[in-house]
């Protein structure tokens, strides 16, 4: 199978949208180095620019869409649409499909990833997005829930305080833009290392990607993962695990694993998902 020609941009949530109240704590220049600027730069590779915001995961879709419209306008992009898809039939609407076929990029907002996938999973809209991502320089971005849903297996819930106990992390099926990768978000802010470790214990052939807030990754050709944003990306690789007791214990009992490989990436670092190698250009 050929490598995808498009780009995935997975974001850990709470990305800088250029709000005045965040200026004092801002580590990166919103207009030059911010995550949403990265989305725009990749989207422009095809010429004209049109972005569609999909807010299915959110409980406040209009407010969320407006915040992105304001942020992209600050960056010089006025052509930002809002696809408020609340029901499965909305995703098969001809006008919606036409907009997905014409835009340069889509961005799945945060919220509830299980809701997002239950409403949109298996629809024509997702099939078209997957096809465009595979065959065109099309940008598929997602933040928080929208990032978690990009992989085939996704984390959809779990108690961070009991994440090393079997059964305390819930897994489900995502959109499948990425195979053998599991993404977790708000990673440092909500202490989710244990969630990702249990997910990898359940599927040690996969690579776990933990995204902190205002931090993300650009995935090119389905292989090259590059860290962007103001904090760290944690990679959990279970391919070399020697001991793993998850299949032998009952729910509620503690996990035991040995020989997990963990990498920490900051802005500009690269991880090859195929060779499982960390590369830094600093």
List, in order of start, the domains of the chain with CATH numbers: 7-270 (3.40.50.880)
Residue 129 to residue 107: CA distance in whole angstroms: 11
Residue 104 to residue 39: CA distance in whole angstroms: 10
Please say whether the beta carbons of 175 and 126 come within 8 A.
Answer: yes
Residue 58 to residue 112: CA distance in whole angstroms: 7
- CB neighbourhood size of 41 (10 A): 12
Q: DSSP secondary-structure letter at 192?
A: -
Please say whether the beta carbons of 179 and 209 come within 8 A.
Answer: no
pLDDT of residue 269: 96
Q: Residue 156 has which token pair?
A: 């959809």
Report angle CA 150, 193, 113 to the nearest 5 degrees: 30
pLDDT of residue 74: 96
* Cα distances (angstroms) measured from residue 147 to each of 1, 182, 233, 262, 279: 23, 10, 13, 20, 23
pLDDT of residue 17: 95
pLDDT of residue 46: 62
pLDDT of residue 47: 61
Helices within the chain (DSSP H only): 35-43, 61-74, 94-102, 113-120, 124-135, 145-148, 193-202
pLDDT of residue 2: 87
- CB neighbourhood size of 226 (10 A): 20
pLDDT of residue 92: 92
pLDDT of residue 1: 67
Task: Report the SS3 class of residue 162.
Answer: helix
| Helices and strands: H and E segment counts in the chain | 7, 17
Residue 41 to residue 55: CA distance in whole angstroms: 22
Q: What is the pLDDT along the chain (282 residues), one digit of tens a residue?
A: 689 999 999 999 999 999 876 666 678 999 999 999 999 999 987 667 899 999 999 999 999 999 999 999 999 999 999 999 999 999 999 999 999 999 999 999 999 999 999 999 999 999 999 999 999 999 999 999 999 999 999 999 999 999 999 999 999 999 999 999 999 999 999 999 999 999 999 999 999 999 999 999 999 999 999 999 999 999 999 999 999 999 999 999 999 999 999 999 999 999 999 999 999 765
- CB neighbourhood size of 62 (10 A): 11
């Amino acid at each position: 199978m050929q490598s995808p020609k498009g780009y995935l941009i997975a974001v850990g949530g709470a990305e800088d949208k250029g709000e005045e109240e965040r200026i004092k704590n801002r580590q990166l220049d919103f207009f030059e180095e911010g995550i949403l600027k990265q989305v725009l730069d990749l989207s422009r590779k095809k010429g004209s620019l049109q972005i569609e915001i999909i807010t299915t995961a959110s409980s406040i879709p209009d407010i969320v869409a407006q915040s992105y419209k304001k942020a992209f306008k600050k960056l010089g992009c006025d052509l930002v649409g809002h696809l408020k898809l609340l029901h499965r039939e909305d995703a098969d609407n001809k006008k919606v499909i036409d907009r997905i076929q014409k835009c340069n990029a889509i961005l799945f907002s945060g919220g509830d990833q299980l809701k997002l996938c239950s409403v949109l999973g298996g629809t024509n809209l997702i099939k078209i997005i997957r096809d465009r991502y595979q065959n065109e320089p099309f940008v598929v971005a997602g933040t928080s829930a929208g990032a978690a849903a990009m992989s085939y297996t996704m984390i959809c819930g779990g108690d961070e305080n009991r994440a090393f106990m079997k059964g305390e992390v819930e897994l489900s099926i995502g959109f499948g833009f990425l195979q053998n990768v599991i993404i977790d978000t708000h990673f440092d802010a909500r202490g989710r290392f244990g969630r990702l470790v249990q997910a990898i214990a359940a599927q040690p052939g996969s690579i776990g990607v933990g995204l902190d807030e205002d931090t993300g990754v650009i995935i090119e050709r389905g292989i090259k993962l590059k860290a962007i944003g103001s904090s760290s990306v944690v990679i959990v690789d279970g391919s070399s695990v020697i001991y793993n007791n998850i299949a032998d214990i009952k729910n509620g009992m503690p996990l035991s694993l040995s020989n997990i490989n963990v990498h920490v990436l900051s802005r500009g670092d690269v991880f090859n998902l195929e060779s499982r190698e960390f590369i830094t250009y600093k």
